[in-house]
Amino acid sequence: FGNWIFASGGDAQAARYVGVPVNRVKILMFTFTAFCATVFATCQVMEFGSAGADRGLLKEFEAIIAVVIGGALLTGGYGSVLGAALGALIFGVVQQGLFFAGVESSLFRVFLGVILLLAVILNTYIRRIITGER
């Protein structure tokens, strides 16, 4: 099923040609995402007594940074779950390290941008080496 998900997101038409039910896979993934969001919101209500809509603000930026650090290409077509998990672990350790080092919170967003920029440059360099481009 994981290969179906990867194929549906990469090239839907090619996935259809090899027999992957692309529409059903996409609907299942959207449904699963909604289910996970519901579970998370329920956990927030149970813990804090209310669900704050702004608690996940700008987390997508952090998720992109973690995945790029883990080796996924921003152009698509390359990446792994293990790499994304490793990138999230590295990102979390760095985030906690900055917090305990007493770095000002407004500088944290600048640091995130620098990390993303360095990861993209390294990512592009590695992609060119792998594909043999110049």
What would the two tokens of residue 66 be?
């973690």
**44-48, 83-87, 109-113, 130-134: least confident range:** 130-134
CA dist., res. 36 & res. 71, Å (int) = 25
Which DSSP letter does residue 101 get?
T
- Same domain? 2 vs 47: yes
The pLDDT of 114-119, averaged and rounded, is 83
User: Is the same domain home to 70 and 124?
Assistant: yes
Domain span at residue 32 reads 1-51
44 and 1 part of one domain: yes
Whether residue 130 is found in the same domain as residue 80? yes
Q: Give tens-digit pLDDT for 18-50.
A: 888 999 999 999 999 999 989 988 988 898 887
65/104 same-domain check: yes
> What DSSP assignment string belongs to 35-89?
HHHHHHHHHHHHHHSS--TTTTTTHHHHHHHHHHHTT--TTSS---HHHHHHHHH
Of 23-32, 80-89, 90-99, 110-119, the range with the highest mean pLDDT is 23-32
pTM: 0.61
Pair 65, 31 in one domain: no
Please count the structural domains in the chain.
Answer: 2
112 with 80, same domain: the answer is yes
pLDDT of residue 35: 97
CB 127 within 8 A of CB 71: no
